[in-house]
Amino acid sequence: MKELVRSNILNVKAYVSGKPIEETKRQLGLREVIKLASNENPLGPSPKAVSAIKKCLSGINRYPDSQGFYLKRRLARHLSLDPENFILGNGSDELIDIIIKTFVEPDENIVTSDTTFLEYEIIAQVNDRKIKKAPLRYFKYDLAAMLKLVDKKTKLVFIANPNNPTGTYVTKYEVADFLGALPDSILVVFDEAYDAFIDVDDYPDSLAYLRRKKKIIILKTFSKSYGLAGLRLGYAMAERELVSYMERVRQPFNVNMLAQAGGIAALDDKDFIKNTRRLVLKGKDFIYQELSRMGLGFLPSAANFVLVDTGKDGLEIFKAMLKFGVIVRQMKQYGLKDFIRVTIGTQKENERFIRVLRKILKEKN
């Protein structure tokens, strides 16, 4: 059947997601499984979002608002922009696709980093667009190396900041240098899925660049800090004119009614975000401390996950942890053979992760 398929699709390595809890329980006959594999919010969804969604349920015989009027208005107020600066997506994944489709010609290319969010490459390949990747430097995006990859045919740059799966971030100084040296014909996408967890002073203010009408697109998601991964909701911010072109590519009903209602309520739930942030920062400190005591290497992370150097085969560690009902992410796909990535959970989950990891490493020694 291969001959039926477009050749670029034959080269695509399908995305492998974190293992779902229910499937793992069934397969391994386990009662208690915890998932620390997809950087979701361990507190669940915001209760305010849940009740807003419930109120909407009896209306789902209707199509959703194709413009996302109320959610965009709420976002505009939240971020002091105009509703016309926003486009909504079925997760920010969909917006990556819309961006590539809107801006990158068949003979143009995209520049990003190696060892980053896999969807940039997958979606570029599906759209038959070339993507060029600069290696990380000390596990960080190397913007200077990316600049060297830029050529006359480069249209788009993706910067995951903080980066997934490393948790490292590029500073405002690095971004200023990069944007200063980049030709004006190139659009830069800042994917800020983890911005709620930032607690450093030198994180770049991408919105300030947007306000100065630079060619910037900022991506945000409700999947991580807002606890709405299952609803599929993300948004992009850009200059109105750029948004208007992306709106031509977007499917009219891409964001469902429940997601729109849940998103508005989640934005209103300030306490929920504050509690989530506090939990993650505290949990991260605990995990750093315990990993250090075990003599394991890890990368200090600006996000809600930590990349851990197990000193062993990461896939083996992943499988062994799974048998004890702890799902972490194995990093083979990213070419990080010895590593696992663990999402910060509740204190109880973090303790269980450490207990199981310690036990397994002891057995393997």
* Interface with ligand PLP (CB under 6 A): 39, 91-93, 117, 160, 164, 191, 193, 221, 223-224, 229, 234
Nearer of residues 162 and 325 to ligand PLP, judged by Cβ? 162
Nearer of residues 169 and 324 to ligand PLP, judged by Cβ? 169
- Smallest distance from ligand PLP to CB 160, Å: 4
Tell the residue number behind the tokens 């990993």, with chain if given: 291
Alpha carbon of residue 192 to chain centroid: 7
Chain position whose Cβ is nearest to ligand PLP: 91
- Smallest distance from ligand PLP to CB 162, Å: 8
- Smallest distance from ligand PLP to CB 120, Å: 9
Say if strands 305-309 and 339-343 run parallel, antiparallel, or are unpaired: antiparallel
Nearer of residues 292 and 333 to ligand PLP, judged by Cβ? 333
Nearer of residues 115 and 164 to ligand PLP, judged by Cβ? 164
- Smallest distance from ligand PLP to CB 355, Å: 27
- 255 contacts 90 by C-beta, under 8 angstroms: yes
17 SS3 class: coil
- 115 contacts 165 by C-beta, under 8 angstroms: yes
Nearer of residues 36 and 160 to ligand PLP, judged by Cβ? 160
Token pair for 21: 């809890």
- Residue 11, class by beta-carbon neighbours within 10 Å (0-12 exposed, 13-18 middle, 19+ buried)? exposed
- Smallest distance from ligand PLP to CB 131, Å: 15
250 SS3 class: coil
Nearer of residues 102 and 163 to ligand PLP, judged by Cβ? 163
- Smallest distance from ligand PLP to CB 28, Å: 26
Residue 64 per-residue DSSP state: P
Cα 196–Cα 200–Cα 201 angle in degrees, nearest 5: 115
- Smallest distance from ligand PLP to CB 208, Å: 21
Instruction: Note the helical H segments in the chain.
Output: 7-10, 21-28, 47-56, 69-79, 92-103, 119-126, 143-149, 172-181, 206-211, 240-249, 257-268, 270-293, 314-323, 347-364
Question: What is the rounded CA–CA span in Å between residue 68 and residue 49?
Answer: 16
Nearer of residues 85 and 112 to ligand PLP, judged by Cβ? 112
Nearer of residues 218 and 242 to ligand PLP, judged by Cβ? 218
Helix axes 347-364, 314-323, angle to 10 degrees: 120
Question: What is the rounded CA–CA span in Å between residue 140 and residue 9?
Answer: 30
- Smallest distance from ligand PLP to CB 358, Å: 27
Instruction: Pick the closest to residue 42 from 263, 353, 308 (CA basis).
Output: 353
Say if strands 109-113 and 297-298 run parallel, antiparallel, or are unpaired: unpaired
- Smallest distance from ligand PLP to CB 197, Å: 12
Say if strands 187-191 and 234-237 run parallel, antiparallel, or are unpaired: unpaired
Nearer of residues 232 and 352 to ligand PLP, judged by Cβ? 232
Token pair for 341: 């990535």
